[in-house]
Every structure is written in C-alpha cells, then in structure tokens.
Structure 1
Amino acid sequence: MATTESIQAAYIDYVLTEGHEPKSVYLFAKNNDMTEEEFYRFFGSFEAVEQNVWAEFARKTVTEVKSQDIWAQYSSREKALSFFYSFFELLKSSRSFAIYSYRKHARGLAAPRVLDNLKTIFESFADEILRDGLETGELTDRKFFSSRYKDALWIQFGFVLKFWVGDNSAAFEKTDEAIEKGVNVTFDLFQRSPIDNLLDYGKFLAKNGGFKEKMGF
C-alpha cells in the first residue's frame, strides 16, 4: 500500500538515478506498483512531492531543536542559530536530492516555489522565537518594522541555503561560518542601536519643548 513516505522515497530514488522527474504520474505509479489514484490520494503533482520533502526537513528540525533540554533557556538568537545549524546538519544526509531540487526550481533572487511549504513552517517558528525576544526585551520593538523581522530572517535562510548548495569546503565548514556570521548580523539589527537612542532623544525633545528651547536658541 502506498504511503506518503513510500512515494517520496521512490520519487527521490528515481530523480537521483535518472537525473530528471518521471515522464508521467501514470508511468511512475505503474513502476512502483500503485495506481494513479493512489498517488493522487497523497500528492497533486511531482512538485508537491518535492515541496513536502522540504517541509519535512523543516518539521524534523523544529521538533529536534525544541526537544533539547536547554531550549527554554536559549535566547531568541540562540534558538535561531540552533535551527539553522540543525537544519543544515539534517540536510547533509539528503544533499544530492536537495541540490537537484533546488537547482531545478531556482528562479533568480526569489526563493524557489518548491520551498513554499517549508517557508510557512519557518515563518511560524520565526514568529514564535522573535515574539519571545520582543517580550523579554532582547529585541527592540520598532513600530512598523518589528513585524518584518521574520522576513529578514527568511532572507538570511535563503542566502545560507544558496551558499550551502555551492559549498565545496570539507564538512561544509564554510556554511557553518556563514550561519554564524549571517544570523548574528541579522539579530544585531533587531537589537537596540545608537540610531534607536538618537530617535528616542529626538522624540523626547519634541515632546518637551523642542530643540530651540533646550539649546537656548
């Protein structure tokens, strides 16, 4: 009997062996002892199969990092780093498929559509850890911008994924470096900066008589 897992496994084996997706659902189903109806019971297309594989990478990563005993003690920054490191560690075991799928669907600067389901999971996770950071004061709550923090984190994820696909370093150590530097820079932007202090000072002066009065002009 066909299952989500068996279809995904058969599909991955086919594309890595043949270098392209099956010519039709009919032929794929026939070669794997199932009917078209069974295939469509789980997936609407081959692209949907790939989308689910990517989504599973994200689901497994979220489950894994949240199961860590120290998870509740992590800052938002540490939770993001833990997700990134764990995700790309998990991806190593499926590197051939990940590269095949990513490159097949690549479309310039925009994230490939095959990552749509993964993005939904990632953004839900990012919303959670960023909200925690805002509540604890680790991150700065900026009007109009705080709600966009997850977008910046997604852009950073897309950058690291693209970097990893082209990384030829031993044990992908360059990717680990890219994660460390990229995530830290992103979170530095989320935290309070001299610009925030300057803006707050300007608001204070505006509410309390303005610049001219305070400076004696």
Structure 2
Amino acid sequence: MARKKNITAEKIIDLYMSALLTDENIPKTVYAFAHANNFEENDFYKYFSNFDVLEKHIFSLFCENTLALLVENEDYTHYAPKDKLLSFYFTFFEMLNANRSYVYLKLAQNKNKLEALKLLSKLRSTFLKYIESEIYTHSVDLKNKTLNSLNKKGANETAWAQLLFTIQFWLEDTSPNFEKTDIFIEKSVQVSFDLKEIKPLESVLDFAKFLWKEKTMST
C-alpha cells in the first residue's frame, strides 16, 4: 500500500479527532496511529512530539482560528473593546459548537478535571495574548511597577476565569442551539466591563438573576 505524502498538521488533527470520536480511545502509540492512517510515523513528529501536545494544540487552534476569522472583518478593528470581546466569544463558541463532540469528550467526560484543565494550557496562552493586545490595552496607572504588574495579572486571571466559566456553562447548556450560552456571554461580558468601569450594580444584578434562574430550573 502506498504511503500518503505531504501529510499536514491539519490533516493529522482531523485524523486524530476522527479516531478519538470513533473509537473513544487515544491510539496506543504514534506508530499505530500513523500505520492505521497510512502515513509515516516520522511525519507526525514534524509537528507534534506526542498526543498530549497535539491535544493542547487543538484547543489553542480553536482560538487561533477564531482570531483569524475576526480579522477578516474590516469593521472589527474599529470596534470598542467590549464589542471586540463579544465578537470573540460568539465566534469562539461557534467554533466549539462545530466540534462539540470532541470538546465534550475531552472536558466534560474526563473524570480527571486537573488533566482536562491541562489540555487548555496552550489555549490560555493564546487567549491571554489576545486579551492583552486587543481588549485590556488601557489600564489604570497605579504609579508603582509592582502594583501595575499585579493589576495586569489580576485582569488576565479574571479574563481567563470568565472564559473557563463560560465553557463550563456551555458544556452544561441543553437549550436549543445553545441559546442560553449566548445570553450568558452577553451578560457576563457586560458585567466584566461594568466592573472595570466601577458601575456594576445593574448588570451584576441582571447577571445574578439569570444564573439564579438557570440553577433553580435545573434542580
């Protein structure tokens, strides 16, 4: 049987996700995976050192593809930071919707939550670079290098926690077309910017009511 030629990183990802969703098990070895898909084992290592690295790359790729789509919209560059973040969230979760079976398998069905969180480490780096360069570009100058660094770190951690919280909500969302996740995104992003501008009460209460309603309806 002739070997496949010019295997790409994107093709390896497609084959891996397909294998995982079909068999529900990680291939035992890179050799077995390459042999089953008719390409050379060494071609895998041109892009990924192991399956763990590959899986982390997949989650980061969801973010990278989201950002690539955003910059294709000429109007996006003129958006205010809040509208940019909303655009990111809606586009990112469209990406996740298109790959929900894989994401659900790796995150929601993974009993080892710490292991699941580690899969998002490269996504975290990609997302925080976006936050720093596009969203929180203007911060309050606290006239102290250490305090400014802590303030920036706090803003980053809050942004990351917000994304994780939204992913968790989406994983548990059973509404048609995940409509409640869209509402969650709108309200949570509004709250995050209102808190930053120190005018939170109305949007925080509105968001709290939404979460309370969701919790009471699901019990």
Q: Radius of gyration: which is bigger?
A: 1
SS of aligned partner of 1:119: helix
> Aligned pair 1:188/2:194, yes or no?
yes
Residue identity in the other structure for 1:30: H
Cα deviation code 1:85-105 (max 9, x no counterpart): 110012211111111122355
Corresponding residue number in structure 1 for 2:121: 116
- Give the Cα–Cα distance (whole angstroms) in 2 for the partners of residues 40 and 23 of structure 1: 16
> Aligned pair 1:90/2:95, yes or no?
yes
From 155, 160, 183, the equivalent of 2:161 is 155
Number of aligned residue pairs: give it.
Answer: 189
Task: Structure 1: give runs of 5+ residues left out of the alignment.
Answer: 195-217
Contact in 2 for aligned 1:71/1:79 (Cα 8 Å): yes
Task: Structure 2: give runs of 5+ residues left out of the alignment.
Answer: 201-219
From 19, 38, 58, the equivalent of 1:33 is 38
Residues 1:104 and 1:71: Cα distance change in structure 2 (over 3 Å): same
Query: TM (normalized to structure 2)?
Result: 0.78
Contact in 2 for aligned 1:29/1:39 (Cα 8 Å): yes
- Give the Cα–Cα distance (whole angstroms) in 1 for the partners of residues 53 and 90 of structure 2: 26
SS of aligned partner of 1:168: coil
Query: TM (normalized to structure 1)?
Result: 0.79
Cα deviation code 1:110-155 (max 9, x no counterpart): 97111111111100000012343x2xxxx65555454021211110
Corresponding residue number in structure 1 for 2:216: none
> Aligned pair 1:61/2:86, yes or no?
no
SS of aligned partner of 1:44: coil
Corresponding residue number in structure 1 for 2:86: 81
- Give the Cα–Cα distance (whole angstroms) in 1 for the partners of residues 124 and 197 of structure 2: 24
- Give the Cα–Cα distance (whole angstroms) in 2 for the partners of residues 107 and 168 of structure 1: 23
- Percent same amino acid at aligned positions? 31
Contact in 2 for aligned 1:105/1:113 (Cα 8 Å): no
Residue identity in the other structure for 1:130: I
Corresponding residue number in structure 1 for 2:215: none
Residues 1:106 and 1:62: Cα distance change in structure 2 (over 3 Å): farther
Residues 1:104 and 1:4: Cα distance change in structure 2 (over 3 Å): farther
From 164, 170, 194, the equivalent of 1:164 is 170
Deviation at 1:191, TM superposition (A): 1.2
Contact in 2 for aligned 1:57/1:87 (Cα 8 Å): yes
Residues 1:109 and 1:9: Cα distance change in structure 2 (over 3 Å): closer
- Give the Cα–Cα distance (whole angstroms) in 2 for the partners of residues 155 and 52 of structure 1: 20
Corresponding residue number in structure 2 for 1:175: 181
SS of aligned partner of 1:70: helix
- Give the Cα–Cα distance (whole angstroms) in 2 for the partners of residues 66 and 111 of structure 1: 30
Contact in 2 for aligned 1:163/1:175 (Cα 8 Å): yes
